[in-house]
Amino acid sequence: MALHPQMKMGSSSGEGRPQWSVLDNVKRISGTSPETLMAEINTGITNIELARATALLESVARATARPTPPPQYDVRMADEAYRAGCAALAAGQLDEALHSLTISLSKCPPDKTSAVAKLQSLISLTSQQLQRPSNSN
């Protein structure tokens, strides 16, 4: 007597009824083509491999990195000094403005040519205003 592959004789009554199937616990994915499913699997595998490779490269880079000296230029500090200089100019505090703008220029990276030119122009104008005798009131 041949049994259907999904049927198993297991009851004491000897009746051939389905008790267990290899597909019982398989999740059915409706509306998904095999190509879409394989693409999702491949994307997941690629993401895991990328994360592992990145972590490995970062650990190697940290292990071989030489300590670097503190940067000579600091964009954040240059921006803060520039804002302080502009505020001092607006308040009529020319000495403070000149000081802040000079700090901003010293911290500004030289490759930021338009910012350097703007700072140099503001420093020049502020210096000229400080040299005028009318500011001695």
Backbone dihedral angles phi then psi of residue 131, each to the nearest 5 degrees:
-80, -15
Tens digit of pLDDT for each residue in 112-129?
Answer: 999 999 999 999 999 999
Domain boundaries, the chain: 31-68, 75-130
- Mean pLDDT (whole number) for 54-69: 79
**DSSP 8-state class, residue 132:** S
What span, in angstroms and rounded, lies between the C-alpha atoms of 73 and 41? 47
Residue 51 corresponds to which tokens in the numbers above?
């994360």
**pLDDT at site 30:** 65
Contact 130, 95 (CB under 8 A): yes
What span, in angstroms and rounded, lies between the C-alpha atoms of 102 and 81? 8
**pLDDT at site 134:** 62
pLDDT > 80? residue 67: no
Tens digit of pLDDT for each residue in 91-115?
Answer: 999 999 999 999 999 999 989 999 9
C-beta atoms surrounding 78 within 10 Å:
21
pLDDT > 50? residue 9: no
Element (H, E) at 94: helix 94-107
Contact 108, 115 (CB under 8 A): yes
Tens digit of pLDDT for each residue in 10-49?
Answer: 444 556 666 777 777 766 666 678 888 888 888 889 889 9
pLDDT > 90? residue 87: yes
Residue 117 corresponds to which tokens in the numbers above?
């030119």
The angle that helices 94-107 and 113-131 make with each other, rounded to 10 degrees, is 160
On average, the pLDDT of the chain sits at 80
